[in-house]
Amino acid sequence: MTIQWFPGHMTRARRQIQEKLKQIDAVIELLDARVPHSSRNPMIDEILRGKPRLVLLNKADLADQRATDRWIAAFREDGLDSLAVDAAGGQGIKEISARVKKLVAPQWERMAARGVVKPRAVRVLIVGIPNVGKSTLINRLAGRSVAATGDRPGVTKGQQWIKVGGEMELLDTPGILWPKFDDQTVGMRLAVIGSIREEILNLEEIAFFAVKTLAGKYWDAFVERFGLEGGPPEDPDDPGQIVDVLERIGRKRGCLVSGGRVDLEKASGVLLRDLRSGKLGRITLEEPEEFR
């Protein structure tokens, strides 16, 4: 399965971001802590043109804490301030304003040198791929419901400015995927966490990829959640062993059809829903060492 998804509103969003850049002081780049590399849009560096940036690893409550710590260290080594947050639960939110102020401090010093005594509110652009939690973050920062949220990609369709107290103004934008996944592993990882609409996906293939990627490292989580008997796949490159795990999950969850056969599509849906919601435990699909 080849994954591509670049609706027209994403093209418009990219153009609108570029048009607003002159008004922007800093950028918050929101990533999914479970896939920090795969949830980074490779076009963002080109689009943002060197604007001061804070990288937030959202949904940190769903990610493996040890992996998240290594990702934060890796971003900081690359010169990007980084912070793990849980926008839905509030973890790390209070630190964001201070981090942004630190980013724009040199600009404010230059303004003071020109005689500007009281600078305006800091204008912050929030960018990220679909379903990474931008609207949830904005609502948390604003302390009120001002941005539409949902557990599916593509909820935000246009831009809007949101005031956060008197110190910050946030520009929300639709999530932007890139036109082509040069590495299909990136597309599969995004599909696993729910950043691509399921209507264009084959759930069995996505679940197959999830089992192949995660079963060895997080087998205890599979056993605890689904009550599986037996061990993990000895050879993750053996399709039969991966399908066997999905069938075991299907039998435990009653995903059966006539003749006692397992409905792999239903079993795949069960696995992916539990993984995305955190019921399978705290899981990270990629490590920073893979990309060094």
220: phi then psi, degrees, rounded to nearest 5:
-60, -35
Which among 103, 102, 120 is positioned nearest to 112, based on CA atoms?
120
What's the average model confidence in pLDDT over 24-40?
Answer: 94
| pLDDT tens digits along 173-192 | 766 665 556 678 988 999 99
| pLDDT tens digits along 51-88 | 899 999 999 999 999 999 999 999 999 999 999 999 99
The confidence score (pLDDT) of residue 199 equals 74
Q: Do domains 8-172 and 202-291 have the same CATH topology?
A: no
- The two structure tokens encoding residue 244: 């066997």
CATH of domain 8-172: 3.40.50.300
| pLDDT tens digits along 70-80 | 999 999 999 99
104: phi then psi, degrees, rounded to nearest 5:
-95, 0
| pLDDT tens digits along 126-141 | 988 888 998 899 999 9
Separation in Å, CA 11 to CA 17, 135, 175: 10, 19, 10
Three-point CA angle 219, 286, 176, nearest 5°: 130
Rounded CA-CA distance 34/217 in Å is: 14
pLDDT tier for residue 3 given thresholds of 50, 70 and 90: low
Contacts from 195-199 at CB under 8 Å and sequence distance 24+? 195/32, 195/39, 195/129, 195/130, 195/131, 195/132, 195/153, 196/3, 196/5, 196/130, 196/153, 197/5, 197/152, 197/153, 197/154
Helix 184-193 to helix 264-277 angle (10° resolution) is 80
7: which residues sit within 8 A by CB, 6+ positions away?
A: 154
| pLDDT tens digits along 280-290 | 999 999 999 99
Architecture per CATH, domain 202-291, reads as Orthogonal Bundle (1.10)
Residue type, 164: V
Domain boundaries, the chain: 8-172, 202-291
Which among 47, 49, 30, 57 is positioned nearest to 288, based on CA atoms?
57
